[in-house]
Amino acid sequence: MGSGSSQLKCPEDYNTEKFNKILKLYDRLDSNGDHSVDMEELVTIANLHVKNQLNRLENMKQPLSDSIDQDIRIFEQQKNLDIEKINNQFKNKKKSLLQEKTNKIENLENDIKQLGELSDDKKALRFKKAITDKNGNISFWPFFNYMKTKTEDIPNIEW
Protein backbone atom coordinates (compact mmCIF):
# COMPACT_ATOMS: atom_id res chain seq x y z
CA MET A 1 0.00 0.00 0.00
CA GLY A 2 2.05 2.82 -1.30
CA SER A 3 -0.25 5.83 -0.83
CA GLY A 4 0.38 6.48 2.78
CA SER A 5 -3.37 6.58 3.36
CA SER A 6 -2.85 4.08 6.17
CA GLN A 7 -1.58 7.02 8.27
CA LEU A 8 -5.07 8.55 8.26
CA LYS A 9 -7.09 8.22 11.48
CA CYS A 10 -10.71 7.24 11.79
CA PRO A 11 -13.02 10.06 12.92
CA GLU A 12 -14.24 9.59 16.50
CA ASP A 13 -17.90 9.41 15.47
CA TYR A 14 -17.36 6.75 12.79
CA ASN A 15 -17.02 2.95 12.89
CA THR A 16 -13.34 1.93 12.80
CA GLU A 17 -13.93 -1.27 10.88
CA LYS A 18 -15.82 0.55 8.12
CA PHE A 19 -13.14 3.24 8.02
CA ASN A 20 -10.43 0.63 7.51
CA LYS A 21 -12.40 -0.94 4.65
CA ILE A 22 -12.62 2.48 2.96
CA LEU A 23 -8.82 2.98 3.42
CA LYS A 24 -8.05 -0.38 1.84
CA LEU A 25 -10.34 0.36 -1.10
CA TYR A 26 -8.73 3.77 -1.63
CA ASP A 27 -5.26 2.24 -1.50
CA ARG A 28 -6.32 -0.30 -4.14
CA LEU A 29 -7.71 2.47 -6.36
CA ASP A 30 -4.54 4.55 -5.94
CA SER A 31 -2.50 1.74 -7.39
CA ASN A 32 0.39 3.98 -8.43
CA GLY A 33 0.67 5.56 -4.96
CA ASP A 34 0.52 9.19 -6.05
CA HIS A 35 -2.09 10.12 -3.37
CA SER A 36 -4.81 10.75 -5.92
CA VAL A 37 -7.10 8.52 -7.93
CA ASP A 38 -6.87 8.95 -11.71
CA MET A 39 -9.71 8.38 -14.13
CA GLU A 40 -8.03 5.18 -15.27
CA GLU A 41 -7.90 3.97 -11.66
CA LEU A 42 -11.61 4.80 -11.18
CA VAL A 43 -12.78 2.44 -13.91
CA THR A 44 -12.52 -0.45 -11.46
CA ILE A 45 -15.19 0.93 -9.15
CA ALA A 46 -17.12 3.16 -11.58
CA ASN A 47 -19.24 0.31 -12.93
CA LEU A 48 -20.24 -0.70 -9.38
CA HIS A 49 -21.00 2.93 -8.53
CA VAL A 50 -23.28 3.33 -11.56
CA LYS A 51 -24.87 -0.08 -10.95
CA ASN A 52 -25.61 0.94 -7.35
CA GLN A 53 -27.13 4.21 -8.53
CA LEU A 54 -29.27 2.36 -11.06
CA ASN A 55 -30.42 -0.07 -8.38
CA ARG A 56 -31.18 2.79 -5.99
CA LEU A 57 -33.21 4.60 -8.65
CA GLU A 58 -35.03 1.39 -9.63
CA ASN A 59 -35.77 0.76 -5.95
CA MET A 60 -37.27 4.24 -5.67
CA LYS A 61 -39.85 3.64 -8.41
CA GLN A 62 -42.15 1.21 -6.59
CA PRO A 63 -42.37 3.15 -3.30
CA LEU A 64 -42.96 6.33 -5.31
CA SER A 65 -45.67 4.63 -7.34
CA ASP A 66 -47.23 3.15 -4.19
CA SER A 67 -47.18 6.52 -2.45
CA ILE A 68 -48.85 8.31 -5.34
CA ASP A 69 -51.39 5.51 -5.72
CA GLN A 70 -52.16 5.88 -2.01
CA ASP A 71 -52.59 9.64 -2.46
CA ILE A 72 -54.98 8.97 -5.34
CA ARG A 73 -56.98 6.50 -3.21
CA ILE A 74 -57.22 9.04 -0.38
CA PHE A 75 -58.25 11.77 -2.82
CA GLU A 76 -60.86 9.43 -4.33
CA GLN A 77 -62.24 8.63 -0.87
CA GLN A 78 -62.45 12.33 -0.03
CA LYS A 79 -64.18 12.97 -3.36
CA ASN A 80 -66.74 10.27 -2.56
CA LEU A 81 -67.32 11.72 0.91
CA ASP A 82 -67.74 15.20 -0.54
CA ILE A 83 -70.18 13.92 -3.17
CA GLU A 84 -72.17 12.07 -0.51
CA LYS A 85 -72.25 15.21 1.64
CA ILE A 86 -73.46 17.33 -1.28
CA ASN A 87 -76.08 14.71 -2.20
CA ASN A 88 -77.34 14.69 1.39
CA GLN A 89 -77.46 18.49 1.46
CA PHE A 90 -79.39 18.42 -1.81
CA LYS A 91 -81.86 15.83 -0.51
CA ASN A 92 -82.41 17.77 2.71
CA LYS A 93 -82.85 21.10 0.89
CA LYS A 94 -85.20 19.53 -1.66
CA LYS A 95 -87.26 17.94 1.12
CA SER A 96 -87.40 21.27 2.94
CA LEU A 97 -88.42 23.16 -0.21
CA LEU A 98 -91.10 20.59 -1.05
CA GLN A 99 -92.47 20.88 2.48
CA GLU A 100 -92.42 24.68 2.18
CA LYS A 101 -94.26 24.41 -1.13
CA THR A 102 -96.88 22.13 0.40
CA ASN A 103 -97.38 24.44 3.37
CA LYS A 104 -97.67 27.57 1.23
CA ILE A 105 -100.10 25.95 -1.18
CA GLU A 106 -102.20 24.72 1.74
CA ASN A 107 -102.23 28.24 3.17
CA LEU A 108 -103.24 29.67 -0.21
CA GLU A 109 -105.97 27.06 -0.58
CA ASN A 110 -107.25 27.89 2.91
CA ASP A 111 -107.25 31.62 2.06
CA ILE A 112 -109.05 30.90 -1.23
CA LYS A 113 -111.64 28.77 0.57
CA GLN A 114 -112.19 31.44 3.25
CA LEU A 115 -112.54 34.22 0.68
CA GLY A 116 -114.89 32.10 -1.39
CA GLU A 117 -117.15 31.55 1.62
CA LEU A 118 -117.39 35.23 2.63
CA SER A 119 -120.84 36.76 2.72
CA ASP A 120 -121.46 40.04 0.88
CA ASP A 121 -121.29 41.95 4.19
CA LYS A 122 -117.91 40.41 5.09
CA LYS A 123 -116.61 41.16 1.58
CA ALA A 124 -117.64 44.79 2.02
CA LEU A 125 -115.89 44.95 5.40
CA ARG A 126 -112.68 43.55 3.90
CA PHE A 127 -112.79 46.05 1.06
CA LYS A 128 -113.56 48.90 3.43
CA LYS A 129 -110.55 47.91 5.54
CA ALA A 130 -108.35 48.05 2.44
CA ILE A 131 -109.40 51.61 1.52
CA THR A 132 -109.74 53.41 4.86
CA ASP A 133 -107.28 55.76 6.48
CA LYS A 134 -105.75 55.28 9.93
CA ASN A 135 -108.88 56.74 11.53
CA GLY A 136 -111.15 54.27 9.74
CA ASN A 137 -112.55 56.88 7.31
CA ILE A 138 -112.98 56.21 3.63
CA SER A 139 -111.12 59.02 1.94
CA PHE A 140 -109.82 59.55 -1.58
CA TRP A 141 -106.07 58.92 -1.09
CA PRO A 142 -106.31 55.50 0.55
CA PHE A 143 -108.91 54.62 -2.13
CA PHE A 144 -106.57 55.95 -4.86
CA ASN A 145 -103.57 53.99 -3.48
CA TYR A 146 -105.64 50.81 -3.51
CA MET A 147 -107.07 51.33 -7.00
CA LYS A 148 -104.02 52.75 -8.81
CA THR A 149 -102.80 49.26 -9.75
CA LYS A 150 -106.28 47.92 -10.43
CA THR A 151 -107.67 50.29 -13.09
CA GLU A 152 -108.09 47.36 -15.51
CA ASP A 153 -110.66 45.93 -13.06
CA ILE A 154 -112.91 49.03 -13.12
CA PRO A 155 -114.94 47.85 -16.13
CA ASN A 156 -115.60 44.53 -14.30
CA ILE A 157 -117.41 46.17 -11.40
CA GLU A 158 -121.05 45.13 -11.35
CA TRP A 159 -123.30 48.02 -10.29
Burial 64-76, CB ≥16 within 10 A → b, else e: eeeeeeeeeeeee
Furthest C-alpha separation in the chain: 134
Whether 55 and 47 have beta carbons less than 8 Å apart is answered as no
Whether 26 and 37 have beta carbons less than 8 Å apart is answered as yes
Cα–Cα separations (whole angstroms), residue 75 to 64, 66, 78, 131: 16, 14, 5, 65
pLDDT single digits (tens) 78-117: 999 999 999 999 999 999 999 999 999 999 999 999 999 9
Query: In terms of residue numbers, what domain contains 95?
Result: 60-117
Same domain, residue pair 65 and 108: yes
pLDDT single digits (tens) 106-145: 999 999 999 999 999 999 999 999 999 888 888 888 889 8
> Domain count of the chain?
2
Whether 3 and 37 have beta carbons less than 8 Å apart is answered as no
Instruction: Compare 75 and 135 and report the one with higher pLDDT.
Output: 75
Same domain, residue pair 66 and 111: yes
145 assigned to some structural domain? yes
Q: What is the pTM of this model?
A: 0.50
Same domain, residue pair 66 and 113: yes
